[in-house]
Amino acid sequence: MKLKSILDQINKKYPENLQYSWDNSGLNIGNLDSDVNKIMLTLEITSDTVDEAVKKGVDLIISHHPFMFSKVNQITNKDLKGKLIYKLIKNDINVYCMHTSYDVAENGLNDYFVKLMSYKPSEILDPVGVAEFYDAATKTTVTKEYGLGRIVRLGEGLRALDFLQNLKAALKIENIRLVGDPMNNIESFAVVTGSGAEYFEMCHQKNVDLLITGDMKYHQAIDSKEMGVMVADFGHFGTEDIFAESIIDFIRYICEGCEIFKSDIYINPFTNM
């Protein structure tokens, strides 16, 4: 299957133009005319995942985080990023990244996170705009709102401790950081996967009891506690490690005949002690 054909299908459902201006979702390295038979899915592209892709004969890596974010002035095998770019090109490995374009779209990462908890989103936390999406069921183009984060209105009070323990089990996470009293009841929660701690203020404005996200800073925690907004910090990695499993069925659907698998590399840089 040609790379261009695969990317055209992805863009129908998750248009690259939905990404934020600072992002670099899309084809980071590649030849649109190349043949793709083997695809590897990963949250991050690192030295280990590149080595894995080379060893397994991968033609295309699809990652969540952009491989090329900062400006690259030169490509040599003397620096970390240059060495990886050099190896990827030398081994004819294409790199496609689905970052904020996937975060904000319907049935993207935030929706999948909510689905893991067996809930349906009630609304978008931070609406960005409207865009046209391809509906595979009706084979038509539909106009829908998109934006970052999802809010769920529970309709009944749940003890935060019980709710969060169930979520920890679903995500296979042992430790989280919590701002607020775990014995309090919650009637609503919001999810912003990755780094979304700054949304505690928006949660306060929209009467959301609990924000689930990662990367919360100390002073943000102080302010959110003062406002009475509970925040559960599951970590950047903890909220986005589900990327590969969230997208694999869709990639299999559009890439019939290709071998598609999740990376075996565990890339969380942090160790709990």
Backbone phi, psi, residue 195, to 5°: -100, 100
CB 125 within 8 A of CB 150: yes
Query: What pLDDT, in 10s, does the model give residues 4-60?
Result: 999 999 999 999 999 999 999 999 999 999 999 999 999 999 999 999 999 999 999
What is the average pLDDT across 230-235? 98
Specify the DSSP element, H or E, that contains 149. Answer: strand 140-159
Q: Is the pLDDT of residue 70 over 90?
A: no
Spatial CA neighbour of 13 closest among 149, 127, 108:
108
133 pLDDT above the threshold of 90: no
pLDDT the model gives residue 134: 81
pTM of the model as a whole: 0.96
Q: What is the pLDDT of residue 141?
A: 87
74 pLDDT exceeds 90?
no
Q: Tell me what pLDDT residue 201 has.
A: 98
Q: Dump pLDDT digits (tens) for 79-101.
A: 899 999 999 999 999 999 999 99
Angle at 214 between CA 212 and CA 218, to 5 degrees: 105
